[in-house]
Amino acid sequence: MSLSTDYWGSTARTHLARSPLGWLDTDWVLKRRVFPMIFGSDPGGWWTKDAMVQLGVPLGGEWLDLGCGGGHAEMAMAENGLFDHMVAYDPSPGSIDLARSQAHDRGLDHLVEFRQADVNSIELPEAAFDVVHINMALHHVAELEHVLYQINRALRPGGLFLANEYVGPSQFQFDAQRMDIVNGFLQELPERLRWNPIANETKTSHPRFPRQYWDEVDPTEAVRSDEIPDLLAVNFPNRRRIDYGGNLLNLALENIGQNFDPESPDDASYIDRLFQREDEVLQQETSDFAYFVCPRGPEEALTAGRLLARSADTRHRARPVDGADVEALRSLAQIRLESGTGSSRPLVGPLVVRAKHLARRALRFQLSPVAEQQSAFNAAAVDLIARWGTDLTARLDHVEQENRDLRSRLLRRPPDPKDGATGP
């Protein structure tokens, strides 16, 4: 079991024991800011029938959820009658055990089936679901190309993919200007509004952890979050994106949002000031959080998604490398050509960029498995080239002999075993 799955299993249990303190867990933030931006009004929660109507989502049918965690959202959807049946996956065994126990206690286990699986390598049945849903889990996925193609493939005609996601800077590498705005706002707040019960101290600034921190604590956290919108565009060209900010609110209110009373004139003035500053930031930056409503992609998108998934190198999905398996080596080495033209230009450029990106990422993870696989591949490739070289030399000798025979017959003279003569 990985560090990340251990971490998220314990997190699911922790949320049962204390009030959630993230900005999207703070009631007044949802009612006054987030819900009006997404749904046009407060529909009574994220997963209500009114919310789905506002998004144009049909009720009933077979639903799939990826990255369900402890199953809180999925059970809320079941209780609100959004589907006939749901299958929900999460990589953490601890989270799945908790979700199953809670579903049983609430009498929902006949509506929601919780399963454990690594979402990065999941293989989904074709055209099996009316709706695929992800809530704040896609930014934990490293193999986005594979997963988004699988989602599109798993949707029935007319189906929808719903994703509520963080799509801001990967591993939360915010620029200095944004951090200055956030920390400046925190300094303006009275101490009573800055008390952080998690850290048991007054919040004076919001930390910006380096990539190394996330690599150690949770390597999946926002691993490729800023690539999500572009990859969604490949698989779901008719998607609808609903931005709802969070560029400042997410950072400024983390662990202190519960301290504000929106009915208090003093607190309301600070809230309004924060909303205004975020609006100003959103004039210059793309929203960090967005709700995506994605109709099933057409056949062209399925083809493009499949090619992109196959061409993307992977860390999480197993790829066999057998030094004696020539076909496996060819499969790993091949460059997929644009269909029908024989041109690789539309794919080579993106693949080079992707390769550089993967190389940079590899430096932040354990390199020994990569080195071992690369060494095995190199050794197999050298052996293969050597065998091909021997075969090629024999073939060239044979072809040259045929040429000499042909030349001799054309010149009506006996063949010269040493070298072909050029004429009488």
* Average pLDDT, integer, range 290-303: 97
The pLDDT value given to residue 8: 45
Contact 32, 247 (CB under 8 A): no
Q: Which amino acid is at 4?
A: S
Task: Indicate the SS3 state at residue 54.
Answer: helix
Contact 245, 275 (CB under 8 A): no
Q: Which single residue is written with the structure tokens 């090629």?
A: 392
Minimum mean pLDDT range among 253-262, 271-280, 345-354: 345-354
The pLDDT value given to residue 5: 53
pLDDT at 362 over 80: no
Closest CA to 142 of 361, 386, 422: 361
Contact 12, 70 (CB under 8 A): yes
- Hey, what are 177's tokens? 């200007």
Q: Which residues pair with 93 in a beta bridge?
A: none
* Average pLDDT, integer, range 305-320: 69
The pLDDT value given to residue 311: 85
Mean pLDDT of the chain, nearest integer: 82
CA distance linking residue 294 with residue 240, whole number of Å: 6
CA distance linking residue 90 with residue 67, whole number of Å: 5
pLDDT at 408 over 80: no
Kindly report the three-state secondary structure assignment for every residue of 317-328: CCCCCCCCCHHH
Those residues whose C-beta lies under 8 Å from the C-beta of residue 45, and which sit 6 or more positions away, are 51, 76, 80
CA distance linking residue 39 with residue 45, whole number of Å: 10
Left if phi > 0, otherwise alpha if psi is -120 to 50, otherwise beta: which for 171? left
CA distance linking residue 217 with residue 39, whole number of Å: 34
Closest CA to 153 of 291, 316, 55, 298: 298
User: In whole angstroms, what separates CA 357 from the centre of its chain?
Assistant: 15
Distances in whole angstroms, Cα of residue 399 to Cα of each of 149, 264, 315, 388, 420: 47, 92, 44, 16, 13
Minimum mean pLDDT range among 249-258, 346-355, 377-386: 346-355
* Average pLDDT, integer, range 133-144: 96
The pLDDT value given to residue 198: 87
Is the whole model's pTM more than 0.95, yes or no? no
Minimum mean pLDDT range among 128-142, 237-251, 300-314, 317-331: 317-331
- Residue 316 is given by DSSP the state S
- Residue 176's pLDDT band, with cuts at 50, 70 and 90, is very high
- Hey, what are 230's tokens? 């572009």
Q: End-to-end CA distance of the chain, in Å?
A: 80
- Hey, what are 28's tokens? 């007044």
Q: How many CB atoms lie within 10 A of CB 407?
A: 16
Question: How many Cα atoms sit within 13 Å of 354 on the Cβ side?
Answer: 18
CA distance linking residue 16 with residue 197, whole number of Å: 16
Q: At what angle do helices 299-311 and 228-235 cross, to 10 degrees?
A: 130
Q: Which residues pair with 113 in a beta bridge?
A: 87
Looking at mean pLDDT, say which of 82-91, 210-219, 331-340 comes out highest. 82-91
CA distance linking residue 21 with residue 15, whole number of Å: 10
Q: Which helix (H) or strand (E) holds 146?
A: helix 144-154
Helix residue ranges, H only, 18-92: 27-29, 35-39, 49-55, 72-79
